[in-house]
Amino acid sequence: MEMLNVKDLTIKFGGLVAVDHLNFNVKKGEIVSLIGPNGAGKTTVFNLLTGLYTPTEGSIVFEGKELSGMRSQDIVKLGIARTFQNIRVYTKLRVVENIMVGSHIHTDYNMLDAIFRTKRFYQQEKEKYEAAMAFLESMHFAEKADMYAGSLPYADMRRLEILRAMASNAKLLLLDEPAAGMNPQESEELVQFISKIAREDGYTILLIEHDMNVVMNVADRIYVLDYGKLIADGLPAEIKTNPKVIRAYLGGNQ
Amino acid sequence: MNSTFLLYIVDGVVLGLIYALVACGYSLIFSILRIVNFAHGSIYAFGALMTLFFINQGINPWLSVLITLILTGMLEMLMDKVCIEPLRKRNSPGVSTLIATEGYSYVVMNMLIILFGSGRNHFETFYDLGFTINIGSLPISSTKLVLLAISGGLMLLMTYIINKTHVGLAIRAVQQNTTSARLMGIKVNRIVLGTFFLAGATAAVSGALVAGYYQICYPTMGMVMGNKTLATALLGGLGAMHGGLLGGIIIGVLECIVAGTLGATYRDAVSFVVLIVILIFMPSGLFGKKDITKV
Amino acid sequence: MKNKKQVNRLNKFETFVSKNKVLLVLLGLAVLIIAPFVVPNDYFMRVLCVILMYCTFGFGLNILLGEMGLMSLGQAGFVGAGAFTTAVLLTTLKWNFIPATLCGALVAAILGLIIGLPTLRLHGSYLAIVTIGFGEIMRTIFLNWTSVTGGPRGIKSIPRPSLFGLEFNYANKGFYFLIVLTTILVGLFCAALHKSKYGRAFATIKQDELAATLMGIETTRYKVIGFMLSAAISGLMGGYYAMMQRYIDSNSFISDMSVMIVSCLVIGGAGTLRGPVLGAILLVSFPEIFRDLQDYRFVFYGLIMIIMMVVRPAGLLGWDSTLPYQLPRSLSERRMKSLKKVQEKGDTD
């Protein structure tokens, strides 16, 4: 069963067609990778999926619901959360608070509860805090719970950003270059981490990545974009040898 | 009725050009550093009062303006060195710069009060050529014409400097990308200082012109003017010179109409009402570049 | 950058404070209670009241600037709206001061909504300038709406607050304690808000609004709430300001007041509640202490603002807590915990 189904997705900025009649799908529990040279329109696809841009044409269907035209906030509530190319954790909040921000949309006491410190307030704050701590525990991150996100090492910040996205109870995670700037050992750990959350914790993952080692190791299927168009798709082994892909990456005549 | 209305428009255009001239001081600095210099109004007042001071020493008014122009230029350069550069180097948030320049404004304005007293000083119009021309039934005094000519000329000169000279090219290069400008051998710090000097110079000239036009100057004259011209710059789109001109004329004309029909006490609010209404629909002003946040 | 030694010292200090919280609160209350009995005359009493007022104005601005990073240079407009509303209700309609000040807060909050909505898409300098504009527009309204605000003549002989025939004034210290009570309540309100999902949402808006949107946070809603609360707090204290001055006109609410409010918050430390307390004490008492330097007062304000931004932009008391995250606990939970501790102690003995 397809979780996400993208049909003829197109967006134009002025005369530039950034994404051009793109079709792809993601099935539940899969790790799908979106690759392509710089400027191929990968991040634009994420921006379309998360409602930052409204598509000029085409449809995005997530679990039977049409997403195009929806606000970002409502899309998150349906269960799609993302990370960013340049890390965007809340550096001046503690790790556990970052996670609690992730569960913000499931915290539903109102202002009067907060001001008068009603039972509902205490209950929910406690619940969310304990859930956040348990979650961090299960991800081997608990010892860093009280650190400010800004003081974490680089790779941990990237990981925290993924954790924060998971904490929103997302079913589909969109990871934008999670391995960027990591050394080989760190990206190896990241591969393990991503595989684990997909295989064991049941998250579905769509990721953009430049590090081919990461992509080949982790992805079930790959879509290749160039100039906003889909030029190839298939299993990692097929993509590796696809002449079109090699040409897109290395340049050369058509 | 019709001729009063025309008069509003002529007065408004004159006023608008003055606003545009002061506003281009904001635009210059904003376009290069993406900050708003809240001290500009006070430096404008400094320009007016210092010109008066030199005139009272018996110096020729035009020469006085020239000396003052150098002083205000230096005052703006000092501000960059003292309160903006340290923050820029540390990559401080915009709020810090805002407060620091607001602080500088306070220092300048209140030093003026201490030096010259807070009262209003008479400022003889030094560019009254003593004739009036009539266009139809509409009399236009020589002061207005001179004011129109000087501020219009200065705006043109500014546009020329920015668009056609080497210095202007360097300024525009720094505007677009500071790092690559530096890599191309442009002395960025010198360009920044130069821009501050230019901004200060416009403040002095417009200060003296306006003081002469209304025949009055006082230390707090920069507060209302500063706020209004900031609104002008914003209305046109910060960083866009021609936008400032259009913004100035819109505000100037509307102010004259409102002051003439509703009463002078409403005058100072006009610019902000216009600004807020425009910003609701165009958050970057009439000609401002949209800031696209890269995701 | 903070070095390790500083962090250590800060940590010790914070641990000390959090351990002796009850004691320190009692000490603070004692100072607040004793203060009016030590000051020599009504003049100083007034200074105390003004300090507390600016403290509250600072709390109000803190919601915008400190929590959400939205600059407002038009707070005086909100203060004025509250002050005029209260003054009108007290003088012409002879209302009691409690509903009058609450109405003042409400009117200010509505203005906060009105100014908040169009400015939602604006940031940084643009927002700052629009708020300056808001302040100026408000002043124009105060000056020209003669039938309500008295125009250039202002509103005279505003009564002191009274309840059941008892007047709160300087002589019986009632006015002072009324302001103390209001300030404390506002402070508690802000603290409660900060340590809840509202505080977290505000923080996400300050740090990265786009990321907040993509975490499903209704940033627009929170910004409007922030504007309204900030305005309401300023308007509420504005009412007391009117009752303290007993005479207000459009010149009472010029941009100097807005700048002073910003300075109090920034110099003390934006983003904290201790910040505006210290800021208000320093900035209000400074000119009173150095009366001879009256002329230089604003020069010093300016210098302080510059020096602070260059040397310590976070403000005198602005620091990130080094203590671990503390979950808000209800009193009963806290009692349970301390009981448990005592029991454990008993067991080991």
- Sequence spans of domains, chain B: 2-281
Model pLDDT for residues C208-243, shown as the tens digit of each residue: 999 999 999 999 999 999 999 999 999 999 999 999
Name the closest residue on chain C to residue A115, using Cα atoms. Answer: C192
Distance from CA of C196 to the nearest CA of B (A): 25
Q: What is the CATH number of the domain that holds A185?
A: 3.40.50.300
- Tell which B residues from 276 to 295 touch A, by Cβ distance under 8 Å: 295
- For residue A208, the chain B residues in CB contact (below 8 A) are none
Domain that holds residue A60: 2-89+170-250
* Helix (H), strand (E) at residue C175: helix C174-194
Domains contained in chain A, number:
1
Mean of pLDDT values over B72-83: 93
Burial of C247 (0-12, 13-18, 19+ CB in 10 A): middle
N-term to C-term CA, chain B: 56
- Which position has the token pair 């406690």? A126
Mean of pLDDT values over C69-83: 94
Asked whether the predicted pLDDT for residue B288 surpasses 80, the reply is no
Query: Which of C217, C104, C39 lies closest to A167, judged by CA?
Result: C217
Q: What is the pLDDT of residue C84?
A: 96
As a whole-number percent, the residues of chain B with pLDDT over 90 amount to: 26
Asked whether the predicted pLDDT for residue B60 surpasses 50, the reply is yes
Least confident of B6-20, B227-241, C239-253: B227-241
Asked whether the predicted pLDDT for residue C344 surpasses 80, the reply is no
Q: What is the pLDDT of residue A252?
A: 56
In a domain, A110, yes or no: no
Average pLDDT in chain B: 86
Mean of pLDDT values over C99-106: 96
| pLDDT winner (highest mean) among A156-170, C5-19, C113-127, C294-308 | A156-170
Name the closest residue on chain A to residue C329, using Cα atoms. Answer: A122
Confidence of residue B290 (pLDDT cuts 50, 70, 90): low
Asked whether the predicted pLDDT for residue B292 surpasses 70, the reply is no
For residue B10, give the 3-state DSSP assignment.
Answer: helix
Distance from CA of A73 to the nearest CA of C (A): 4
Least confident of A10-14, B277-281, C92-96, C275-279: B277-281
Where in B129-196 does DSSP place strands (E)? 132-135, 138-141
Q: Which residues of chain A have pLDDT under 70?
A: 251-254
Asked whether the predicted pLDDT for residue B78 surpasses 90, the reply is yes
Distance from CA of A247 to the nearest CA of C (A): 35
Confidence of residue C3 (pLDDT cuts 50, 70, 90): low
In a domain, A165, yes or no: no
Which residues from A are below 8 Å from C when comparing CB atoms? 50, 52, 72-73, 76-77, 81-82, 84, 88, 90-94, 96-97, 100-102, 104-105, 107, 109, 111, 114-115, 117, 119, 121-122, 125-126, 129, 145-146, 148, 164, 168
Burial of C81 (0-12, 13-18, 19+ CB in 10 A): buried
Confidence of residue C248 (pLDDT cuts 50, 70, 90): very high
Q: What is the pLDDT of residue C347?
A: 65
Distance of CA B28 to the CA centre of its chain: 10
| pLDDT winner (highest mean) among A197-206, B80-89, B92-101 | A197-206
DSSP string, B39-58: THHHHHHHHHHHHHHHHHTT
- What count of CB pairs under 8 Å joins A to B? 6
Distance of CA C156 to the CA centre of its chain: 26
Q: What is the pLDDT of residue C349?
A: 55
In a domain, A180, yes or no: yes
* CATH number for domain B2-281, candidates 3.40.1000, 3.40.50, 3.30.70, 1.10.3470: 1.10.3470
Question: Neighbours of B (≥3 Cβ pairs closer than 8 A)?
Answer: A, C
Q: What is the pLDDT of residue B140?
A: 81
* Helix (H), strand (E) at residue A44: helix A42-49
Phi, psi of A8 (to 5 degrees): 50, 35
Question: Neighbours of C (≥3 Cβ pairs closer than 8 A)?
Answer: A, B
Q: What is the pLDDT of residue A196?
A: 93
In a domain, A95, yes or no: no
Q: What is the pLDDT of residue B142?
A: 85
Taking each helix axis as running N to C, give the angle between helix C219-245 and helix C75-91, from 0 to 180 degrees, rounded to the nearest 10: 50
Name the closest residue on chain A to residue C333, using Cα atoms. Answer: A122
Q: What is the pLDDT of residue A254?
A: 44
∠ Cα B136 B139 B144 (to 5°): 130
Average pLDDT in chain C: 89
Interface residue C50 vs chain B (CB under 8 A): no
Distance from CA of A189 to the nearest CA of C (A): 25
Model pLDDT for residues C291-314, shown as the tens digit of each residue: 777 778 778 878 888 998 898 888
Rounded to whole angstroms, how far apart are CA atoms A91 and A97?
10
Partner-chain residue, chosen from C208, C215, C225, that has the shortest CB–CB distance to A102: C215
Rounded to whole angstroms, how far apart are CA atoms C290 and C280?
16
Asked whether the predicted pLDDT for residue B185 surpasses 50, the reply is yes
In a domain, A106, yes or no: no
Q: What is the pLDDT of residue A109?
A: 92
Least confident of B137-141, B219-223, C89-93: B137-141
Rounded to whole angstroms, how far apart are CA atoms C310 and A96?
32
Q: Give the pTM.
A: 0.90
Beta strands A57-62 and A172-176, pairing class: unpaired
